[in-house]
Structure 1
Amino acid sequence: MSERVDLWNNGNLVQDIFLGEIKVPVKVLRNDSFQAWYLLQPRENGNKSSKTDDLGSLRLNICYTEDCVLPSEYYTSLRNLLLKSSEVQPISASAAYILSEVCRDKYDAVLPLVRLLLHHHKLVPFVAAVAELDLKDTQEANTVFRGNSLATRCVDEMMKIVGKHYLKVTLKPVIDEICESPKPCEIDPIRLREGDNVEINMENLRYYVDKVFREIVRSSISCPTLMCDVFYSLRHLAAKRFPNDPHVQYSAVSSFVFLRFFAVAVVSPHTFHLRPHHPDAQTSRTLTLISKAIQTLGSWGSLTKSKLSSFKETFMCEFFKTFQEDKFTESVKKFLDDVSSTESKEPSGLSEPVHLKEGEMYKRAQGRTRIGKKNFKKRWFCLTSREFTYHKQQDKEPIFTIPIKNILAVEKLDESSFNKKNMFQVLHGEKPLYIQANNCVEASEWIEALCRVTRCNQKRLSFYHPSAFLNGNWLCCKATIENTVGCARCTADVPADTQIEIDGDRETERIYSLFTINMSKLQKLEEACGSIAVYQGPRKEPDDYSNFTIEDSVATFHTLKQIIDTVEKLNESHEKYQKKRSSSAKYGSEENPIVGKVS
């Protein structure tokens, strides 16, 4: 197994030119620090490889970190300390916030932190808390969430994790068209080549911008629930901070979804797995121009005046004079309303119910207490943007209708409930509706479609029963009260195709390692808090902690003491566990596995 490293030139005159690549075997990275010279190789092109002459060489200095992940129970104290961060007042005194403060590069802290909080369904309240702190230091509404704070980095990382499928269904078809059948789009007079027609190029660029923009503003129904929940919190926090600015509620959301999500994905599609490789220079330039346009159009719905005056390039200003600002502004506002609302909405610009899916499946009669084949009837199901219905036959009047806004959860049903495969349940306040699809693919498609159209429902459930209530008890948890709270956390908050596998213990171990590396900073910060609490005069030795946020020295000191104590206990656990593994476990066993390849 090896890691591939690509080298590109991103100069002022020549943009993103591929220079060469190397492959480094993973086994050589197991050293604490590895330095070596490698000759650059041409990009792999199927069966043949080009000449290696004149590609130059690249020197790498790679640091390889190997975490030793202990059994889950060892991390209980540290994990609980981190997961309770959103409840700490002030948020700057929380363990998660302190982690970001002591790490030199916030990204090192943000990645495992976001994944851990996401895994335990604690990300939204934490983002809301750090965003509120961020807004306290924001003096002007037009700069809301424009910096690289902990709040903005957490949202950025969250969007990368949960928004992959959203980008795929929204942008991939049009990005593929641009990359595979490119049209000349250069409109900068300085960059034009001999024979280029600027009017035709401008028409080509306008065609691409219109198509990308149209796909984005029509995509709100596909936006993952978690992103909608975060956008809702940011929107209302910004409106609360600047109550006299009616546009800030939109700029708070557009600064993320347009500027930090869609625009970035357009200009770097390979980074978001929308394309297999970095695009060539001409295509890259086209994507850059489209990205600039999308950023501008996204900001039109959140500002009171036109953005034309802010363009540094005259040619972009001329390009945007062909746009009808009012038309695009309304589309942007409608889209931002859809992705940051807690009420179920229909796709932008549609007043009539939209047909989303229909097909024949089996429905179990509601309220029956016995298991039997007669309880399952073949019915025709229909899903629109307003309601979910079933009929005796296609084109007949519906027998039963569930308004979309009343659906509380859509989940799979354990096969053991009725000894039938491919079953799912629709929870809507009355008896659960149990449905059997014809196959597993069909079941997944229906669950996905129902989850997408109900993702903004305000009263979504957090817990459900994975089995049915039969013969006086729930088969899953044996509870005897039919309306008792579910025994399993809902898994369909995010559609199945956007869910990710997160190892919570591994992320906690990574955070423990970061705390260990920065132990001296933790101790200095603890001393600073003690000094501030005892002596209220000027701070001593400001270089040690002047860059840290200390709103409440007592609360911060208390959290720091917990962190240090927890990390020291984990240090002891690591030492004991390593000694036990090396002394008692057989080399090659599960407790002491072989590291690296076997020759």
Structure 2
Amino acid sequence: MSERVDLWNNGNLVQDVFLGEIKVPVKVLRNDSFQAWYLLQPRENGNKSSKTDDLGSLRLNICYTEDCVLPSEYYASLRNLLLKSSDVQPISASAAYILSEVCRDKYDAVLPLVRLLLHHHKLVPFVAAVAELDLKDTQEANTVFRGNSLATRCVDEMMKIVGKHYLKVTLKPVIDEICESPKPCEIDPIKLREGDNVEINMENLRYYVDKVFREIVRSSISCPTLMCDVFYSLRHLAAKRFPNDPHVQYSAVSSFVFLRFFAVAVVSPHTFHLRPHHPDAQTSRTLTLISKAIQTLGSWGSLTKSKLSSFKETFMCEFFKAFQEEKFTESVKKFLDDVSSTESKEPSGLSEPVHLKEGEMYKRAQGRTRIGKKNFKKRWFCLTSREFTYHKQQDKEPIFTIPIKNILAVEKLDESSFNKKNMFQVLHGEKPLYIQANNCVEASEWIEALCRVTRCNQKRLSFYHPSAFLNGNWLCCKATIENTVGCARCTADVPADTQIEIDGDRETERIYSLFTINMSKLQKLEEACGSIAVYQGPRKEPDDYSNFTIEDSVATFHTLKQIIDIVEKLNESHEKYRKKRSSSAKYGSEENPIVGKVS
């Protein structure tokens, strides 16, 4: 068994060039550290033998790390310290921020940190806190969130995790069209091939750009709730930092959703699972040009004449003259309003309510306390971007209407409530509306559609009752007060296709490992904080910690002491576990696996 390692030349995301590949036996990865030279080989082509050229060689330095995840209770102290990071003042004194400071590569810290905070619903306040710190050092409104800070990396990672389905429903159809039926789009006179017609190419590119742009600005209804919540925070923080700039609230959001999300996915669709493979050279060039266009269209106010003159390439300046109409700027503004609002809105660019779904299902009469077949009536349901209604028959006037903004939650209903399958409930301030779909697929589709259109409602519930209130009590928790808080956490806050499986203990273990590796930095930072706090004099050995952010030496010292104590206790727990495993676990079991060849 072996692992394949491919070597590519990445030219600033313009085009990846395959250089060669090697295969490394898995058994060598079990060494603590492995170094060796390998000759690069041509790419395998099924059973056909490829011509072996002199492709050069590649030296690998591979480190193999084995995660040993202890039972959940061992991580309680570290987990709680990390989860309360957003409440620490200043945020630079929090455990999560210190983690990013001591890690040589911030990405090592960001991935497990974001996943852990996501899992425990703590990411939004943390991002808001580190973004506010980021803005303190930002002097000009046009550079808001353009660097690679902890805040921007956290948002980038969050979008990659929760935005996969959003990209799929928004971009995949048009990306497939571009890759499977490509049209020539080169408009750089220097790169034109013989026989190319620049006018035709420009028209092809304009068609693709317009189509991608149109799909994006109409997609706000599919934007995951978590992304909307983060964008809302960033928007208002930026407006607070630069109160005299009316456009910064839009550029703060567009710098992420256009520049760091959609534009990157367009130029590299294979990395976002929109395409199975890296596209060919011509298609890559087309995607690059489209990506540049989307970045520019998404940059608030970038289509003015003064901005067009700043294009480095003359051909791009000429191309964008076709996009100077006010409708493009207004579409971007409307889209950014939608994805960074706390209130439900219709999809961008649409002034009339949009029909999203309709069909026949059964509803239970509200207010009935007894269970019976007569309580359920067949009704025609209709969902638009503004309201959810039901009617006696199709094309009849609605019997009952729920404004979308009034829907608080949409959840499945336990089958035991009425001894009926495929039921769900719509909570809207009055009595819950109980509905039975015709099958499980239809039920899931309705729940998903309702969740998407209500994802930005400000008063969304966090808890609900999974069963009905009958005969004076909730069947799920036996509470006797009808308007009591729910006994189960809402699961449909985020549509099922955007939910992710996260092992909180594994992520905490990775963070513990990072703290362990960087223990010397933690100790030096602790010494620095102690020196500042006690003496209030010149700092000693500034090279050891001059790159760290120490806003409040006392608060930072307190957090560092907690981290070091917790890590030392976890070290002891890991050591005890290793000794127990090696002495008691049977050789060849999962706890003590065989390493190497069996003689």
Q: Deviations over 1:439-458 (max 9, x none)?
A: 22111111111111001111
Q: In the TM superposition, what is the alpha-carbon distance from 1:53 to its structure 2 partner?
A: 4.2
CA pair 377-50 structure 1, distance change in 2 beyond 3 A: farther
In structure 1, the gaps of 5 or more residues are none
Q: Deviations over 1:264-309 (max 9, x none)?
A: 0011101100111111111111111111111111013478774312
Q: In the TM superposition, what is the alpha-carbon distance from 1:41 to its structure 2 partner?
A: 4.4
In structure 2, the gaps of 5 or more residues are none
Query: Which sits farther off after the overlay, 574-583 or 556-565?
Result: 574-583
Question: Contact 2:304–2:324 (CA<8 Å) still a contact in 1?
Answer: no
Q: In the TM superposition, what is the alpha-carbon distance from 1:47 to its structure 2 partner?
A: 6.0
CA pair 580-401 structure 1, distance change in 2 beyond 3 A: same
State the partner residue of 1:267: 267
CA pair 303-96 structure 1, distance change in 2 beyond 3 A: farther
Q: In the TM superposition, what is the alpha-carbon distance from 1:102 to its structure 2 partner?
A: 0.4
Q: In the TM superposition, what is the alpha-carbon distance from 1:179 to its structure 2 partner?
A: 0.9
The 2-side partners of 1:358 and 1:252 are apart by 37
CA pair 593-361 structure 1, distance change in 2 beyond 3 A: farther
Q: Deviations over 1:164-189 (max 9, x none)?
A: 00000001111111111111111111
Question: Contact 1:251–1:303 (CA<8 Å) still a contact in 2?
Answer: no
Question: Contact 1:411–1:426 (CA<8 Å) still a contact in 2?
Answer: yes
Q: Deviations over 1:55-94 (max 9, x none)?
A: 4543322222211000101000000000000000110110
Q: In the TM superposition, what is the alpha-carbon distance from 1:25 to its structure 2 partner?
A: 4.4
Identity %: 99
State the partner residue of 1:541: 541
Question: Contact 2:116–2:504 (CA<8 Å) still a contact in 1?
Answer: yes
Q: In the TM superposition, what is the alpha-carbon distance from 1:7 to its structure 2 partner?
A: 2.1
Q: Deviations over 1:405-436 (max 9, x none)?
A: 00011112222322322221111111111112
Q: In the TM superposition, what is the alpha-carbon distance from 1:483 to its structure 2 partner?
A: 1.2
Q: Secondary structure at the match of 1:69?
A: coil
Query: Which sits farther off after the overlay, 187-196 or 223-232?
Result: 187-196
Q: In the TM superposition, what is the alpha-carbon distance from 1:34 to its structure 2 partner?
A: 2.2
CA pair 594-126 structure 1, distance change in 2 beyond 3 A: farther
Q: Secondary structure at the match of 2:146?
A: coil
The 1-side partners of 2:172 and 2:516 are apart by 42
Q: In the TM superposition, what is the alpha-carbon distance from 1:15 to its structure 2 partner?
A: 3.7
The 1-side partners of 2:376 and 2:14 are apart by 66
The 2-side partners of 1:16 and 1:568 are apart by 44
Question: Contact 1:301–1:333 (CA<8 Å) still a contact in 2?
Answer: no
Question: Contact 2:303–2:323 (CA<8 Å) still a contact in 1?
Answer: no
State the partner residue of 1:504: 504
Query: Which sits farther off after the overlay, 368-377 or 110-119?
Result: 368-377
For 1:247-396, what aligned pairs fall within 5 Å after superposition?
247-301=247-301, 306-396=306-396
What is the root-mean-square deviation in Å for CA atoms of aligned residues?
2.1
Q: In the TM superposition, what is the alpha-carbon distance from 1:537 to its structure 2 partner?
A: 1.9
State the partner residue of 2:130: 130
The 1-side partners of 2:591 and 2:319 are apart by 64
Query: Which sits farther off after the overlay, 229-238 or 358-367?
Result: 358-367
Query: Which sits farther off after the overlay, 379-388 or 244-253?
Result: 379-388
Question: Contact 1:301–1:332 (CA<8 Å) still a contact in 2?
Answer: no
CA pair 39-560 structure 1, distance change in 2 beyond 3 A: same
The 1-side partners of 2:79 and 2:302 are apart by 39
Q: In the TM superposition, what is the alpha-carbon distance from 1:54 to its structure 2 partner?
A: 4.4
Q: Deviations over 1:301-326 (max 9, x none)?
A: 47877431221111111111222242
The 1-side partners of 2:90 and 2:323 are apart by 46
Query: Which sits farther off after the overlay, 373-382 or 204-213?
Result: 373-382
Aligned length: 599
- When normalised by structure 1's length, the TM-score is 0.96
Q: Secondary structure at the match of 1:342?
A: coil
Q: In the TM superposition, what is the alpha-carbon distance from 1:587 to its structure 2 partner?
A: 4.1
Q: Secondary structure at the match of 2:361?
A: strand
Q: Secondary structure at the match of 2:351?
A: coil
The 1-side partners of 2:457 and 2:167 are apart by 22
CA pair 536-427 structure 1, distance change in 2 beyond 3 A: same
CA pair 153-180 structure 1, distance change in 2 beyond 3 A: same
For 1:128-527, what aligned pairs fall within 5 Å after superposition?
128-301=128-301, 306-527=306-527
Q: Deviations over 1:363-392 (max 9, x none)?
A: 122233333333222221110111111122
Q: Secondary structure at the match of 1:179?
A: helix
The 2-side partners of 1:82 and 1:364 are apart by 45
Q: Secondary structure at the match of 1:362?
A: strand
Q: Secondary structure at the match of 1:383?
A: strand
Q: Deviations over 1:476-512 (max 9, x none)?
A: 2222222111122212222110111000000000000
The 2-side partners of 1:550 and 1:266 are apart by 39
The 2-side partners of 1:422 and 1:120 are apart by 29
Q: Secondary structure at the match of 2:480?
A: coil
Question: Contact 1:463–1:489 (CA<8 Å) still a contact in 2?
Answer: yes
CA pair 333-37 structure 1, distance change in 2 beyond 3 A: same
CA pair 452-305 structure 1, distance change in 2 beyond 3 A: farther
Question: Contact 1:301–1:328 (CA<8 Å) still a contact in 2?
Answer: no
CA pair 540-281 structure 1, distance change in 2 beyond 3 A: same
Question: Contact 1:42–1:49 (CA<8 Å) still a contact in 2?
Answer: no
The 1-side partners of 2:174 and 2:196 are apart by 24
